[in-house]
A and B are shown apart, each in its own frame.
Chain A
Amino acid sequence: MKYFKTIQILKADDKKLTEISRSGLLSLNLAEMKVVQAYFKKKKRNPTDVELETIAQTWSEHCKHKSFGAKVTYNGKVMNNLIKETIFKVTQELDRDWCVSVFKDNAGIIKFDNKNCIAFKVETHNHPSAIEPYGGAGTGIGGVIRDIMGVGLGAKPVLNTDVFCFGPLDTPYEKLVEGTLHPKRVFKGVVSGVRDYGNRMGIPTANGAVIFEEGYSCNPLVYCGTVGILPVDKCFKSVKPGDIILSIGGKTGRDGIHGATFSSIALDKDTEVSAVQIGNPIVEKKALDVQLKARDLKLYRAVTDCGAGGYSSAVGEMGEETGAKVFLERIPLKYDGLSPWEIWVSEAQERMVFAVPIDKLNQFLKLCVSENVEATIIGEFTNTKKLELFYGKVKVCDIDMSFVHGGGPKFELEATWNLKHNEEPANLPSGNLGASLKNILADPSVASKEWIIRQYDHEVQGGSIIKPLQGCVNDGPGDACVTRPDLTSKKGVAVGNGINPRYGMIDPYWMAAGNIDEALRNIVAVGADIDKIAILDNFCWGNPQKPDEMGGLTRACIACYDIAKEYGTPFISGKDSLNNEYMDSATGRRIAIPGTLLISSISVLEDFRKTCSMDLKKDGNLIYVIGETFNEVGGSIYYKTLGSIGNSVPKVDAKTGKKIFKAVNAGIKSGAIVSCHDCSEGGIGAAAAEMAFAGGLGAAIGLANVPGAENISRDDLVLFSESHTRFLVEVEHASAGKFEEIFKGLKVARIGKVTKEEKLVVDGVKGGRVVNESIGALKEAWQAPLRNP
């Protein structure tokens, strides 16, 4: 029996090379195929299928981030390496001493205290979730948990965060594009998939967001993030020649073959479900339990998870500097019949790969037996700098590590950007704004997500301090969560996120800027110090080969540099998922998602008790607005409820913003601020309503004193503008002096007070009542849409 096929590429012409890549689902372009051809010409032989697959997986957009590392010509200006000149550069220039490991491992690591560090990673699992929502989302969370298990020598997961983007749930069936699932089915499948995996792993899901936009109907986005804790001396790994390659956890099957390459191209109606992995959280939990024991007993030198590209990526990355030999026939299979190349690239779940010194091997194997975890010696690390794979005695792969990892040609991409003009809403409502406010609260992106949140165990591990739902009956929307990863420490961890694709429909630069600002203000609102915040970037975009898509992406990257640099917040990890497009076979149209950037934020709090929730606390207390309001309703939820995007996208002034964040932090620490909510979607109006009904109290505010209102003629624009770096806060009378002292020199104004009467009352800029609604009615508007979806 022959264990491999030889692929005839030596004599292939361009057309044939392209055909080999296409038919083999290799996702390699012609330039890359030519480099491969040249390499094997030098070797004077054709490649095996195993070799070609290894190269394709390693060079896939998913694993290699070719577009982000590309030489980009943006509106005529050349950038030699997009990511190095933007996102990496922020971190390098800031050079924070609390950043322990950035961008090089499976997750970013920051300091927690003298004993421990914190790791954070966010991933996407978009393509799989589009075609098999339950399995795709479950293995999405499973995969990012393994990233945390695979960072350094392994961290213990302590928190999950999930952000989803779906099409509208009320999409009529006749509007569905052929081959796509209805957004409601995707929504329910994704929520259940994350629930069943996250809950079984015993990791609290305490933060997240859900966005509904038409642009996600064919390509939903599923972002899953995990935070972990690991001892300070376990943050780095090394591999030595002679170390045994040990694989533990799940068996290998045909599920998830070509996951990395399939997620690097557009979806269509014929995309095969076999690219989606099949998850089993208990197998992963068992592996985690054993791994943490082995880690503390110092039984291995390095670990990584099998993610995209399976063993090919895991062993390939670990052995990059040394070389590796793997015996594929030893790998335990779910069933017979897999070819060697399938075993090598399968993305079957729940597998962790270790470099084990030979003198520790027995102890490690015994430990695995004692907890019923399958462990298999699959090979060893060598000093040949080669990747050598065998099936029985047959060598099926023999290539240089340097070619696998560094041989690919550099991409050159064109990026152009022109500002478009969007329609403004034809008629803005006049007079009473109560109905507009209720429409905003009822927008599915704003509406209560309690139905989802309660299906996720957000209390497990016993560290929950600031919860996703807050207030007098535990149902108000929190800005961010605070948790205690170590129950013996006074320190806490705050996690938040910022995402708003609507701003990007106007200008991706200001979208990225705004998302950073939102991610920061969310955790500043629960007590984080702006000088101690790290952020993560997760880009989901369309086809980078299209200059306008690449133009938007480039603008977003430039904003990431500008804004994060000014705020002093380093990026510690990131990921991109490109080609989120769908080929509509009926019309030949390619449907792309709106360029979307999720910014996740994390900070270590010195004292978890010095935090703050968003619900109003006591009648008679004062309400202040912090930050200036501009006429910035472009991309707002207010305009969405009017069917428009508009043009006046909110901008960020990070220089002023930093002072505001510092002051808010001082206000919370000193106890002067007793509740704090950031102004995001729906502006001051939505923030005031949410604070009131969460606290079961009323609020009476006036717009006349709102800083900036003097320049805006209309009450609705003041109330619903989404200008960044703004907060509504509640302050006790007795602390008013202290509060105003802290905010001296900043744009802050007292705009009203908390009332006993359970009503939200808003007076316009020139007087006159513009909102007069019972908090019960506002809460109902907010809770009804997703109460039982």
Chain B
Amino acid sequence: MHSKTLVIRTAGTNCDYETVNAFKVCGAEQVDLVHINSLLSKEVNIMNYQIVAIPGGFSYGDDVSAGKILANEIKYKLYDALGKYIAAKRLIIGICNGFQVLVRTGLLPGFEGVDELEFTTLAHNVSGKFEARWLHLRTEDSKCIFTRKNKPVIYLPIAHGEGNFVTLNKKVLDKIKANKQIVFRYCDRKGKVISFPENPNGSQEAIAGICNPDGNILGLMPHPERYMTRYNHPRWTREDLPEEGDGVFIFRNAVEFAKKYL
């Protein structure tokens, strides 16, 4: 069983270095950083990997809309390979811009594997501006493999201008809930869910991350790769904190699962 990890980059990707680092720190047996063109040209085969990560950044400048161009490349030029990959229930994580990509490919919420329709979207923050700050997240009861072992409340930084999670209609929201696809909600220190304006972007029901119905694909706006050690925490100089950061769990869960089952 393997935990080979593929981190995909393209023009404007910029959280690739720390995402590669996170998987390495968490014991992935091999981490390859690969340009999307190498996948499109079939020089690299996605089926050689058990974990795929789409890191944060501004893919193609987020022109058209955040993540849209990369999403279309993946959806329309990589369809067959991707279909095989998700049929094998292998893992995908999309962080920040990567989450936007997953939503726009239809891999999330992924009711039909790869949805034809964009059932959900990440709209501009209600505040109208890019914002970087640390926030608490409540781990919801979900099928998500990336949070199989996790603390009930974690603390991670966000940095985005388009993170306002919106569903197409109430039916979609109900379905996501019924399927236990909500993975993280923005909350306060004690785990109480916060609504706007405390919720950083105005997301529906304070949703910060969702998975697909099988739980093998996760998308989230916060950046777990930026909190790998206690020294990343904004208050490490004043608080008692464990040596490992809260971001570690997410990557370790993926690596351990892959090593065991994939």
Contact = CB atoms under 8 A, between A and B. Distances in A.
Given A455-B132, A461-B18, A289 B238 contact: no
Contact of B61 (A282, A456, A612): A282
A462 B237 contact: no
Contact of B132 (A202, A456, A608): A456
B216 to A, nearest CB: 25
B132 A282 contact: no
Nearest to A373: B11
B153 interface: no
A460 B129 contact: no
**Which of A280, A285, A470 has its CB near the most chain B CB atoms (within 10 A)?**
A285
Contact of A460 (B15, B37, B134, B234): B15
Contacts of A612: 237
Contact of B12 (A282, A456, A459, A466): A282
Contacts of A95: none
A474 B237 CA distance: 12
B18 to A, nearest CB: 3
Contact of A613 (B58, B129, B132, B237): B237
Given A462-B226, A613-B238, A455 B129 contact: yes
A474 B132 contact: no
A457 B132 contact: yes
Interface string B142-165: 000000000000000101000000
A454 B133 contact: yes
B261 interface: no
B133 A462 contact: no
Given A282-B61, A454-B133, A465-B232, A460 B14 contact: yes
A30 B232 CA distance: 58
Given A286-B11, A460-B14, A617-B238, A371 B35 contact: yes
A487 interface: yes
Given A370-B38, A465-B232, A611-B237, A459 B58 contact: no
Nearest to B239: A472
A462 B132 contact: no
B231 A465 contact: yes
A257 to B, nearest CB: 25
A309 interface: no
Given A282-B11, A465-B231, A608-B231, A195 B133 contact: no
B35 A370 contact: yes
A487 to B, nearest CB: 5
A460 B159 contact: yes
Nearest to B237: A613
A469 B234 contact: yes
A462 B21 contact: yes
B180 interface: no
Interface in B7-29: 9, 11-15, 17-18, 21-22
B12 A455 contact: no
B206 to A, nearest CB: 19
Contacts of A609: 231
A461 B225 CA distance: 9
Contact of A285 (B11, B130, B223, B237): B11
Contacts of A674: 237
Interface string A416-437: 0000000000000000000000
B231 A370 contact: no
Interface residue tally on B, bucketed by range? 35 or more
Contacts of B15: 202, 460-462
A459 B132 contact: yes
Contact of A289 (B9, B223, B237): B9
B67 interface: no
B60 interface: yes
A282 B232 contact: no
B237 to A, nearest CB: 4
A713 interface: no
A438 to B, nearest CB: 26
A200 interface: yes
B149 to A, nearest CB: 22
B226 A281 contact: no
B57 interface: yes
Contacts of A281: 58, 61
B57 A459 contact: no
A731 to B, nearest CB: 15
A462 B17 contact: yes
B235 interface: yes
A464 B134 CA distance: 12
A462 B238 contact: no
Interface string B213-239: 000000000010110100110110110
Contact of B235 (A200, A285, A371, A472): A472
B35 A461 contact: no
Contacts of A695: 238
A454 B237 contact: no
Given A281-B61, A285-B12, A613-B238, A462 B228 contact: yes
B182 to A, nearest CB: 25
A774 interface: no
Interface in A476-516: 487-488
Contact of B234 (A200, A372, A463, A467): A467
A612 B38 CA distance: 45
B82 to A, nearest CB: 21
A281 B234 CA distance: 29
5 tightest Cβ-Cβ pairs between the two chains A and B: A202-B14, A462-B18, A282-B61, A613-B237, A457-B159
24 contacts: A195-B130, A200-B58, A202-B58, A280-B61, A282-B11, A285-B14, A286-B11, A370-B38, A457-B132, A458-B132, A459-B132, A459-B157, A460-B14, A460-B226, A462-B21, A462-B22, A463-B18, A464-B226, A465-B231, A469-B234, A470-B235, A470-B237, A471-B235, A617-B237
Interface of A: 195, 199-202, 280-282, 285-286, 289, 370-372, 453-467, 469-472, 474, 487-488, 608-609, 611-613, 615, 617, 674-675, 695
Given A455-B132, A465-B232, A615-B237, 19 more contacts: A199-B159, A200-B12, A202-B14, A202-B15, A289-B9, A371-B35, A372-B37, A459-B159, A460-B159, A462-B15, A462-B18, A464-B226, A464-B232, A465-B231, A474-B235, A609-B231, A615-B238, A617-B238, A695-B238
